[in-house]
Amino acid sequence: MIRVLLADDQALVRGALAALLDLEPDLTVVAQLEDGTGVAQAVLEHRVDVALLDIEMPGMDGIETVRAVQQAVADAGVQCRCLMVTTFGRPGYLRRALEAGAAGFVVKDTPAEQLAEAVRTVHAGGRVVDPSLAQESLVSGANPLTDREKDVLRAALDGSSVREIAAALVLSAGTVRNHLSSAIAKTHTANRTEAALTARDRGWL
């Protein structure tokens, strides 16, 4: 039996996925969590083979969770593969998830049979990526933003002023303006709010 963990902050989605996967003769859901915070520990406690993770979760998002799982299993000398199952099929998320160590990336409207097969594939050491998303990722290219530009845009997402962003990141207002200007140019947008939203929607933040 392939032992599966589910982490998704939407209880209905989590329950539906568990019910579908438990119908498969060779899959069993051994743990369900509503965020990424306790996933690494649960992977070890329940001897999980494949962890199905949402991207956007409170506490610890899916990409951070992949890193935590990879570190935990490496330290323990065991193996667990991570498969992202998300509503947010954004090329930037795909790239970041794979770089973090995820073995696959599929969207939530994937048919149940295909999802089960994806679990089997990653468990066997393979990689599964939604084909349309993979093509879009190639077309959109790599994330052009620097780490500091990403920090500034994240801070701008809630509409914060330059002064507020500068205070939050312990930067000068001039430095913040420079990073925002560069990010606006790279995202081909008109202002910091549009730049932040565009970068978020592309999965760059």
pLDDT, one tens digit per residue, over 46-82 is 999 999 999 989 889 999 999 999 999 999 999 999 9
CATH 1.10.10.10 boundaries in the chain: 147-201
Write down the pTM of the prediction.
0.69
Question: Going by DSSP bridges, is the β-strand pair 2-7/50-53 parallel, antiparallel, or unpaired?
Answer: parallel
Distance CA 57, CA 3 (A): 22
pLDDT, one tens digit per residue, over 132-150 is 665 555 555 667 889 999 9
The full DSSP string for 192-203 is HHHHHHHHHHTT
CATH 3.40.50.2300 boundaries in the chain: 2-140
Average pLDDT over the chain, rounded to whole?
89
The model's confidence at residue 91, banded by pLDDT at 50, 70 and 90, is low
Angle between helices 173-187 and 147-156 (to 10 degrees): 100
CATH code for the part of the protein at 2-140: 3.40.50.2300
Q: How many CB atoms lie within 10 A of CB 114?
A: 12
Of 187, 107, 122, which is closest to residue 152 (Cα–Cα)? 187
